[in-house]
Structure 1
Amino acid sequence: MSQRREILIADAGNNRLAGSWHRATSHADVLLVPVPLRRDAAAAAHRMLLDLAATVGPAMMARAIVVITDGPGDAPMVEIEAVDAFLDAGVHSVVRMPFEPLFASGERISPSKLRRGTTEALTVFASTVIDLIAHAAD
């Protein structure tokens, strides 16, 4: 993909008041929003996306992918409610990223050492991102 398209990945953080955050989110072809399975995190991400849709426009929701992340302290019962809220708000896609011990270790990430579920989730995730980038270029 990078041979045919210019790809820039920016971690804009979560400070909605920062100018860099506004520039990055308003010009992004794809917006990735990682959300741990906690009620407070899901509610904050939902509010942020609704605020973004109100300021940038509802088309941003069609370019957003929420990445539900598994991890310590998760509350799995939050997932169905959170996913429904994101989809009802117009988010393009919600994907799941399982907990990966290698990510949490701080060690160098070697694709061959990733668990199978992680590799499968990353493949779905990458396909979704590429699809949105390709459609943004049309």
Structure 2
Amino acid sequence: MLKLNGKASLSTIAGLGVAAFLVSAPVAMSAQPEIPAGAGISSWVENGAGGRYLLQVQKGAMPQAGKSVVGTVLSDSDCAPDEEGINHCRNEIQLSNGSILTGIDNHRMSVNPCLSPDDRVTVSKFSDGWALILTEEAQASN
């Protein structure tokens, strides 16, 4: 057993360091935001199916409840998947009134594609902090 200054071995110090890290580490929980009630999906893997996306709004004004606005997707960035394989893509959408809505599209892009720049979409308020985005594909199927 190796002693440091006659007090403890390296393995003891390493063990204490690991224990301290584990005690101080937060409990592993899902990194995903909670799916809003009434969304019609049970997992973020399903978000985007049929061109119907829930967008977690970060900034910008959403349309009034019950109204929708046409917009154009300006950007799709920061799409690296998390440890659960869910992508949290940052999108900017320019609305027909000239304002820009910025939000996060939580989805699995290997199952449902990202919103793409130049996509024409319809934006409506889903709930506080959430917008419903319908692509032309979703609009055509309604």
TM-score (norm 1): 0.26
* Largest Rg, 1 or 2: 2
Of structures 1 and 2, the one scoring higher in RCO (CA 8 A, sep 6+) is: 2
Q: Which structure is higher in strand share?
A: 2
TM-score (norm 2): 0.25
